[in-house]
Amino acid sequence: MRLLLIINLAGKLAAVFLFQSNLSTALSLWFGPDLLLAYHFFAPRAQGLVRMHRRFATMQREVWLTIDDGPDADDTPKILQLLAAHEASATFFVIGEKAAAHPELINAIVAAGHEVAHHTHTHPLATFWCASPARVAWELDAALNTLHRAGVRPTRFRPPAGIKNLWLAAALRSRGLTGVGWSARGMELWSSDAEKVAARVLRGLAPGAILLLHEGPAVPDAIRLHAIRRVLERLRESGYRCIIPRTSQLAN
């Protein structure tokens, strides 16, 4: 992160010195570092601001199924049934305010042997990238307090849509949270075909993949739950197991 900020500041200073003598170069130096910084804010695969693990090490045919944006009163119980039917384990990256509204679902996830992880308290998709240190701390701590009351102490964190923040790395480190991204996602929030979502998630399937799917009313009805079911079916057909990896297995 420091290197990115130094590059940005150096570009601005150089642009000021060159403004009168070489306008085009000055504009490039002024805006170029901003584009680089924006990439590291918004690109899920970018690692410059916060390390987000996108794979895990394994020699077996294993993947990590992660489900964002719950818990949901309609979807979560049905997802738990699907996971049980396929003998699959998963990590639920939950939103704190939803967990506060449905603590019984957090208990059900844990009781079924799955992992509950952190997905901010309010899922501030539009503003997380520019949130102040105080707001970042609140998003983390409010959800942590909610989950602690439910008897859960999460160790994994995923920001909304993988968006980073200048203050996030230090905030995660001080709270013992590890950033987790993904290697494949279904993009089901913008789709209407469960089969296409499953194909997108499983394209290039390989051991150690981290798969991202969603639950809740934001998912179109035509694929809500159906995409998760189809992914589980195709994984089983391909001889893959869904596991929850140890932190020591995580890799970029």
Residue 47 lies in a domain: no
Query: Which residue segment(s) compose the domain that 10 sits in?
Result: 2-42
Residue 191 lies in a domain: yes
Residue 50 lies in a domain: no
Q: What is the largest CA-CA distance in the chain?
A: 69
Shared-domain flag, residues 150 and 110: yes
Which CATH number characterizes residue 112's domain? Answer: 3.20.20.370
Shared-domain flag, residues 160 and 62: yes
Please count the structural domains in the chain: 2
- pTM for this prediction: 0.89
Shared-domain flag, residues 21 and 59: no
Residue 198 lies in a domain: yes
Catalytic residues: 68, 214
For the ranges 28-32, 70-74, 114-118, 135-139, the lowest mean pLDDT is seen at: 28-32
Percent of the chain scoring above 70 in pLDDT: 85
Shared-domain flag, residues 34 and 64: no
Does the pLDDT at position 236 exceed 70? yes
Shared-domain flag, residues 15 and 112: no
Residue 194 lies in a domain: yes
Does the pLDDT at position 170 exceed 80? yes
Shared-domain flag, residues 33 and 144: no
Query: For residue 237, what are its two tokens?
Result: 């057909």
Q: Whole-angstrom Cα distance, residue 167 to residue 103?
A: 29
Distances (CA, A) of 47 to 44, 135, 178, 181: 8, 22, 13, 10
Shared-domain flag, residues 79 and 10: no
Residue 48 lies in a domain: no
Chain segment 27-53, per-residue pLDDT in tens: 443 444 555 566 777 788 888 889 999
Cα four-point dihedral sign 58, 171, 92, 43: negative
Residue 124 lies in a domain: yes
